[in-house]
Amino acid sequence: MDNSGANSTIDRLTTLTVKGPHNTSVVVQPSGGGGTLTSGNMPSSRQMTLYVLRNDGSDSAPDWSLSMTQGAGSISVAAFDASASSVTVDKLTVLTVKGPHNTNVQVQTNDGSGVLTSGTMPSGRQMTLYVLRNDDLDTTLNWRLSMTQGAGNIIVPVIDASTPSATIDKLHTLTVKGPHNTQVQVQTSSAGVLTHGTMPSSRQMTLYVLQGSSWQLYLKQGAGERTVAMDNSGSATTVDMLNTLIIKGPHNTNVQVQTSGGSVLTSGTMASSRQTTLYVLQGNTWQLYLKQGDVVTIDTSMDNSGSNTTMDKLCVLTVHASSGTVVQVMLGGNLATSGTVPSSGTRTLYVVRNATNYDVNGQSVDCSGVTATVTIP
**Domain boundaries along the sequence of the chain:** 13-90, 93-169, 172-239, 243-311, 315-375
What is the per-residue pLDDT for 115? 97
Going from the C-alpha of 38 to that of each of 29, 64, 66, the distances in angstroms are 7, 11, 10
Q: Which CATH class is domain 13-90?
A: mainly beta
- What does DSSP assign to residue 62? P
Q: How many C-beta atoms lie closer than 10 Å to residue 2's C-beta?
A: 7
The answer to whether the beta carbons of residues 39 and 64 sit under 8 Å apart is no
- Measured in degrees and rounded to the nearest 5, phi and psi for residue 270 equal -65, 130
Strand partners of residue 118: 106
Fold classification of 93-169 is Immunoglobulin-like (2.60.40)
Report the DSSP pairing between strands 171-177 and 236-240.
Answer: parallel
State how far the Cα of 54 lies from the Cα of 43, in Å rounded to an integer. Answer: 24
Q: Which residues pair with 314 in a beta bridge?
A: 352
What confidence score (pLDDT) does residue 212 get? 81
CA distance 89 to 24: 14
d(CA 308, CA 279): 9
- β strands within 72-120, DSSP E: 73-80, 86-90, 92-98, 104-108, 115-120
Q: Are 177 and 204 in contact (CB under 8 A)?
A: yes
CATH code, residues 243-311: 2.60.40.10
CA separation for the pair 343, 365 (Å, rounded): 23
Cα 194 to Cα 147, 154, 209: the distances in Å are 12, 12, 7
Q: Are 337 and 249 in contact (CB under 8 A)?
A: no
**Cβ-contact 229, 216 below 8 angstroms:** yes
Q: Return the beta strands (E) in 1-91 as ranges.
A: 13-19, 25-30, 38-41, 47-53, 64-70, 73-80, 86-90
Which residues, 6+ apart, have CB-to-CB distance to 270 below 8 Å? 247, 249, 250, 251, 252, 253, 254, 255, 276
Q: Tell me how long the chain is.
A: 377
CATH number attached to the domain at 172-239: 2.60.40.10
> Tens digit of pLDDT per residue, the chain (377 long)?
455 556 556 677 999 999 999 999 999 998 777 789 899 999 999 999 999 988 766 555 557 889 999 999 998 887 777 778 899 999 999 999 999 999 999 999 988 999 999 999 999 999 999 999 987 655 556 799 999 999 999 999 888 788 899 999 999 999 999 999 999 999 999 999 999 999 999 999 999 999 987 899 999 999 999 999 998 888 999 999 999 999 999 999 999 999 999 999 999 999 999 999 999 999 878 999 999 999 999 999 888 888 999 999 999 999 999 999 999 999 999 999 999 999 999 999 999 999 999 999 999 999 999 999 999 98
CB 215 within 8 A of CB 151: no
pLDDT reported for residue 1: 47
Do the domains 13-90 and 93-169 sit in the same CATH topology, yes or no? Answer: yes
